[in-house]
Structure 1
Amino acid sequence: LDFNDKKERISLGMKQLKPHPWKDIAERYPEGAIVKGKVVSITDYGAFVELDSGVEGLIHVSEMSWTQHVKHPSKILTVGQEVEAVVLKVEEDAERISLGMKQLESDPWDSIETELPPGARVVGEIRNIASFGAFVEIKEGVDGLIHVSDMSWTKKITHPNEMVKKGDKVECVVLAVDKEKRRISLSMKHLTEDPWDSIETTYPVDSEVKGKIVRMLDRGVVVELADGIEGFIPVSKLTTEYIKVPADAFKVGDEVPAVVTEIDQNNRKIFLSVVDYFKNRESAELAAWMDSHKPGENGTTIGDAVAPKKKATKKKAAEKPAEEAAEKPAEEA
């Protein structure tokens, strides 16, 4: 191949006895062709497959499966394994061949819009939970997301694990399908009608209800009614006695009778009052209720504690000189 007369050397080559392995590679391995080869090495991003002597192709990790989320090629392939693949792209000058395994099977997302139109009911398994929602495997390789806001019409859910856990089988309604981004929006709450649509009929103003305290706030309590609707009772409407905060006389789990005082359908709020519930009832019934919800300790109510102060204030005012009262405007007197 080369003669150097000054150093009297001759360079020889063996590979030149055979044609270059990448010559006419596109004709021998056209795109779309199904080929067989042996896995010769595995990296983090894919597996190299020997197709012929001196010719290797790469199966990228993203081209290994439609259905599995392959984190590393070694989870699917091993060195020395015989595999079948589809030629995706050939770059003769760069001596690169891109291969795919998943193309040997049909893509489950190709017919997803026909199989799962909006409104369809599906059953799946909770595969993963995030702070914003739960991922449901509807069929092999196809996951949908139930956003936390689509889990209940009535409950204010802060985390999906309040409603579901990993491994649960759940029924959902398909809200939307984005084939290009491979996303499916699901809903649990759309399995039933929104109870707030008929709230004014179900709970008209002045109607009597019973519920259970589910959350305590400084300004009142949140009560869950029979159908999951949550109502709010201000602290001033919990008892005729004076209490600073609901925890002075109530606790989570207490059952309370109340009257509907106001409905704000747009903001999905319903206001209740225990005080108004006892307005037209026998005094003995009110007394029994008050006795079971006494604020303070040792049976002494906060109302009793502040009462003497009010009396003393009145007495002190009565003892003021008459001329001081006379100086006030007539309307104040």
Structure 2
Amino acid sequence: MAIRKPTATAPKTGPMYDAMAAALDQTMNQFTAGSIIKGTISGIKGNEVFVDIGYKSEGVVPANEFEDATLIKAGDVIDVLLEQLESDSGMVVLSKSRADDKLRWDAVLAKYTEGGVVTGTIRSKVRGGLIVSVDGVDAFLPGSQVDVTPVHDPDPYLGTTCEFKVIKISNERRNIIVSRRELIEERMADKKRELLGTIEKGQQRHGRVKNITDFGAFVDLDGLDGLLHITDMSWGRIKHPSEMLKVGQELDVIILDVDMDRERVSLGLKQATPNPWDNIGGTFPVGSRLRGKVVNLVPYGAFVEIEPGIEGLVHVSEFSWTKRVARASDVLNVGDEVDVVVLSIDASNQKIALGIRQTEANPWDTVQDRYPVGSRVTGKVRNFTTYGAFVELEEGIDGMIHVSDMSWTRKINHPSEVLQKGQQVDAVVLEVNPSDQRISLGLKQASDDPWNTITSRYAIGQIVKGKVSKIASFGAFVELEDGVDGLVHISQISDQHVEKVKDALKVGQDVEARIVKIDRDERRIGLSIKAVTMNESQIAELTRDLSITDLKPGENLVGLAAAFDDAFAQSEEWRPGAE
């Protein structure tokens, strides 16, 4: 067997060797882990796609890294990322998905910067926010940055494509944070500045109700919010803005005022319609009869709407001709429909005075026909005052009996001395004043005046019996028959000196006395208890003393006559309990 001699190896020097070494180095530098290279699909087997990248062996890419593996074919050129030059099986390990991710990320970095605007599609929900796809790269949208108002349910945003502001880009973590809220706020601020530059008082603008409060509504004027106060919503009365408006409602408003420094705009809705008060006098002349609806009750009256935007006040004094109404709510309820008459109009202050009682005949207009002066009437005592008693003649029509017209014979200090509430009494009409709605009645005038026949029933010197009715410091009043009171002066109670009347006499005590003085014109009778036992000469002397009544200026009161006159004078001012 022939022995083969070893072949001599080519020398590792020379120009050809150097060129081959350089080409090999260039090829090896291209194939570094983590680099993206182009490769050609050489074949497909099952779930593996073989790619020739120009290396000594082919690489393998899983088929599931392609968006649609059915569309790929041999000869297609694709970008792949070299993960490993040689695996345990001798194959080159490649990744198409990682290559696509890196290419997309590099494209985003080249295209966008922090603060820029991107367009993306909200893809899914994650904890704390949403994932947005921006040119194939996932960006994070925090929940607080979705909209200018808090978003409690993000589901409606899923799948929507919006513009976002790039807040932060982290190349190391391959993380992008975006905000839709900041972008909207910036654009709203731009719109707001633009609107403030063009908006003017008196303009009509279109807007949308953004929010409703107790005092009004905020209206979005396409970038600028204005306040529509509740008082500028309607010419009529409304209790809450929700009666007229709802969130999202579109409407035209009038610019009432613009505060450029504070960037505030006041709006009006009612100003877009004619003011019903402009021709109020022609629409509702004084004296016209109308029908309206009670819209508000206050203690002093009721507000009645006679047409939308026009309300009038019915004061409690205008409810009834005869009934005394303390509170409007005692008679009416909100929502009641009532007939009213226009009493007066104050257009400048937008006030109308209305009356309900004017829709009926005034019973006081004919009261003189029903209760002529001098006629005798019967009524029930309804109430007392310090100066008299009110007697109801018919519903709502009262007459007043003054204390001076209650008794012919006694001085009445309070009506309760003679009358009781609810008591039926007969009286005589003394005076009728329809304009002031007053009727004066007399109780004593319904009976004969006993003083007209006093001299035919009593005489000086006559002994009479009576009952002590009142006690004063100067004497005691004794009630005789027919209710006539006589006065026993303190000096005429006893032959003995009397210090205090109450020590000698008691109210209700029966006494016997002699008449010592009668003055029909002054309606006075003087009595003496101690004179009951006097003889004729003593009585004559007493009578003579009582006839001396003339006094000169400056003289002191002396004598019995003067004492009686002084006592009677004091009795005009005397009140029960005075001692």
The answer to whether TM tops 0.5 is yes
| Residue 7 (1) aligns with residue 197 (2) | yes
Q: 1:45 to 1:221 in 2, by over 3 A?
A: closer
Q: Deviations over 1:156-205 (max 9, x none)?
A: 22211111122222211111122222222111111112212221221111
Q: Extract unaligned runs of 5+ from structure 2.
A: 1-193, 206-252, 254-268, 537-579
Give the secondary-structure state (helix, strand or coil) at the position aligned to 1:277.
Answer: helix
| Cα distance in 2 between the residues matched to 1:155 and 1:196 | 11
CA contact under 8 A between 1:239 and 1:274: conserved in structure 2? Answer: yes
Question: What is the aligned counterpart of 2:508 among 253, 259, 272?
Answer: 253
| Cα distance in 1 between the residues matched to 2:415 and 2:196 | 82
Q: Extract unaligned runs of 5+ from structure 1.
A: 282-333
Q: 1:218 to 1:26 in 2, by over 3 A?
A: closer
In structure 1, the partner of 2:59 is none
C-alpha displacement of 1:267 = 2.4
| Cα distance in 1 between the residues matched to 2:354 and 2:476 | 62
| Cα distance in 2 between the residues matched to 1:98 and 1:181 | 21
C-alpha displacement of 1:240 = 4.2
Give the secondary-structure state (helix, strand or coil) at the position aligned to 2:455.
Answer: helix
C-alpha displacement of 1:224 = 0.6
| Residue 269 (1) aligns with residue 462 (2) | no
AA matched with 1:121: R
C-alpha displacement of 1:249 = 4.2
TM-score by length of 2: 0.45
Question: What is the aligned counterpart of 2:492 among 233, 237, 247?
Answer: 237
Q: Deviations over 1:27-56 (max 9, x none)?
A: 332333221121111223321111222122
Q: Deviations over 1:270-319 (max 9, x none)?
A: 112333333469xxxxxxxxxxxxxxxxxxxxxxxxxxxxxxxxxxxxxx
Who wins on radius of gyration, i.e. which is larger? 2
| Cα distance in 1 between the residues matched to 2:471 and 2:458 | 22
| Residue 202 (1) aligns with residue 395 (2) | no
Q: 1:6 to 1:46 in 2, by over 3 A?
A: closer
Q: 1:80 to 1:274 in 2, by over 3 A?
A: same
| Cα distance in 2 between the residues matched to 1:221 and 1:111 | 48
Q: 1:243 to 1:64 in 2, by over 3 A?
A: closer
Identity of aligned residues (%): 43
Give the secondary-structure state (helix, strand or coil) at the position aligned to 1:88.
Answer: strand
Q: 1:275 to 1:8 in 2, by over 3 A?
A: closer
Question: What is the aligned counterpart of 1:175 among 430, 435, 445?
Answer: 430
Give the secondary-structure state (helix, strand or coil) at the position aligned to 1:111.
Answer: helix
Question: What is the aligned counterpart of 2:376 among 114, 118, 121?
Answer: 121
In structure 1, the partner of 2:287 is 32
| Cα distance in 1 between the residues matched to 2:196 and 2:385 | 75
CA contact under 8 A between 1:35 and 1:85: conserved in structure 2? Answer: yes
| Cα distance in 2 between the residues matched to 1:5 and 1:225 | 99
C-alpha displacement of 1:236 = 4.1
AA matched with 1:130: T
| Cα distance in 1 between the residues matched to 2:277 and 2:493 | 85
| Cα distance in 1 between the residues matched to 2:474 and 2:298 | 60
Tell me how many residue pairs correspond in the alignment: 278
Question: What is the aligned counterpart of 1:42 among 287, 297, 305?
Answer: 297
| Residue 54 (1) aligns with residue 309 (2) | yes
Give the secondary-structure state (helix, strand or coil) at the position aligned to 1:206.
Answer: coil
In structure 1, the partner of 2:391 is 136
C-alpha displacement of 1:219 = 4.1
Q: 1:176 to 1:7 in 2, by over 3 A?
A: same
Give the secondary-structure state (helix, strand or coil) at the position aligned to 2:293.
Answer: strand
Q: Deviations over 1:235-273 (max 9, x none)?
A: 443344554444444332222222211112232211123
